[in-house]
A and B are shown apart, each in its own frame.
Chain A
């Protein structure tokens, strides 16, 4: 009787189920990715698989990552910009284990970045892939419930309806108040939901050097923005698109141009604003930038091992 010795990482035997999904599934997803890249902004249906996390926790993004990752990749995973949140840490560990990849928190070093609801502050460069987890790929769904109808609207480029949501915003708040999942036009052809990233990040999508992939696991759709693609946020002639801005600066690193999260510190209402991109903030602090509350205990958190 021979005792069974499990294959060690990176041995040929291991590759059949490398990166969790079987090879056929990965090929199917890769075909969908190629189609999505060929038709920027078009939602490509794919056979989404059950993943070891619930829907809504990034099943679409994980499948995309699993389909394109290789042992030479360096993987980064963020949740609302932060590397150290529970979901990001577990997904990062998952790929470290099943794909034998190096992981990092450094945006510049990573080749694959999986993200939930943010685009990193540091500009992405050629060769990087940013993977978005998408809850609802259909930007028109809130206004038109029928899938047959929304598909026809995409096919015939009938996008007047999307403006109804902007109209409602202006009539209610006097400005386009939508802050996340702000609809965009890709190459003036397909209307696309950028996943619930803040509209602050919308301008970063246009003319990007990296590949942006979007995966919706429950809704079974993949779409993409290839490098150097035009991305226009919708607006009215008299109410142009604008991004969020803050009067405050980051309390830890003093950044004036990054997306800030408001953190409540105690029951008395004390609060601080910090960069949502934790790596960006840490890098700035290492470079000697200081904010009003530099040295606060929150800054020490990202020194802990993931």
Chain B
């Protein structure tokens, strides 16, 4: 890919995403408090923690869905350079989200249009980017269905006719087809049985490496974190209690809560 030199430069130079003292209050309940980190191109950041620890609040704030109470989220946009996403005008922000980001929901029903076919779901981001050639979009859709290992003969089936794992694959294809630079994933393997989970994780890992994507993945599953993430944020009660390289955090957890989290993984 011709984007390689740029990416190397990006890794060495400025971050793709910079989050600075991000805080979100729900009235006087804290969602997440004083979170700061940087993310570079090609890097996968895992956010782990128990239910209610603020993982999803953090993800929603960073992905432009939920305005934070204070703090900044800066993204290296292709049109405006490094910019606070909440200081962009709404049309500019929506356009940036469309062009440069992807968001994989836990439940494919939230991320897909259930009334239109799987193929149209995958092609929609292309149409949103002003692609108006049916044949080319059709071919791109077929290529991507192959890439996520779906039967291309089922391209025109409705999402409800696919199994949960297949729906999730459609969602992954839909969120990668337009060549985003940053993808958010909220428990992408959440509702799937373990064998399907393993295959999907394998696929995601491969795609992330091939496309040199920056990914923020929220999960409560330590195995997913271990497989996917380069770095981890451990959250508890809205605070980040520990950060570090994935292997470092999981093999030698320092904070009592991280220790509890790691030790509570079931062994068989």
State the A residues within 8 Å of B (CB): 142-143, 152, 155-156, 158, 160-161, 163-168, 170-172, 236-239
Contact = CB atoms under 8 A, between A and B. Distances in A.
Contacts of A236: 132-134
A155 B119 CA distance: 28
Given A171-B138, A171-B155, A158 B128 contact: yes
A164 B156 CA distance: 12
Interface residues of B, number: 25
Nearest to A171: B156
A166 B90 CA distance: 27
Interface string B103-139: 0000000000101110110011001111011110110
Contacts, number: 59
A143 B133 contact: no
Contacts of B128: 158, 160-161
29 contacts: A142-B115, A143-B113, A158-B94, A160-B128, A160-B129, A160-B130, A161-B124, A161-B127, A163-B127, A163-B132, A164-B113, A164-B120, A164-B123, A164-B127, A167-B119, A167-B123, A167-B134, A168-B117, A168-B120, A171-B117, A171-B120, A171-B156, A236-B132, A236-B133, A237-B132, A237-B133, A237-B134, A238-B133, A238-B135
B116 A143 contact: yes
A152 B226 CA distance: 40
Contact of A168 (B98, B116, B129, B135): B116
A171 B142 CA distance: 12
A156 B98 CA distance: 13
A279 B156 CA distance: 44
Contacts of B127: 160-161, 163-164, 167
A209 B254 CA distance: 77
Interface centre among B115, B120, B128, by most chain A C-beta atoms within 10 angstroms, is B120
A171 B90 contact: no
Given A143-B116, A167-B134, 7 more contacts: A156-B90, A158-B128, A160-B128, A160-B129, A163-B127, A168-B120, A172-B156
B130 A171 contact: no
Contacts of B116: 143, 164-165, 168
A167 B133 CA distance: 10
Contacts of B27: none
B81 interface: no
A238 B134 contact: yes
B91 interface: yes
A255 B133 CA distance: 36
A199 B99 CA distance: 32
Interface string B4-20: 00000000000000000
B67 to A, nearest CB: 16
Nearest to B121: A164
Nearest to B89: A156
Contacts of A158: 94, 98, 128
Nearest to A155: B91
A230 to B, nearest CB: 18
Contacts of A152: 90, 94
A279 B233 CA distance: 74
A156 B91 contact: yes
User: Which A-B residue pairs are the 7 nearest by beta carbons?
Assistant: A160-B128, A156-B91, A160-B127, A236-B134, A163-B127, A237-B133, A167-B120
Contacts of B132: 163, 236-237
Nearest to B125: A160
A175 to B, nearest CB: 10
B54 to A, nearest CB: 26
B119 A164 contact: no
Interface centre among B98, B115, B134, B135, by most chain A C-beta atoms within 10 angstroms, is B134
A170 B116 CA distance: 13
Contacts of B91: 155-156
Nearest to A235: B132
A237 B94 CA distance: 26
A163 B197 CA distance: 33
A289 B176 CA distance: 60
B101 to A, nearest CB: 15
Contacts of A165: 116
Interface centre among A168, A171, A239, by most chain B C-beta atoms within 10 angstroms, is A171
Contacts of A237: 132-134
Contacts of B124: 160-161, 164
Contact of A143 (B115, B119, B138): B115
Contacts of A238: 133-135
A172 B135 CA distance: 14
Contacts of B155: 171
B49 to A, nearest CB: 31
Given A156-B90, A160-B124, A171 B113 contact: no
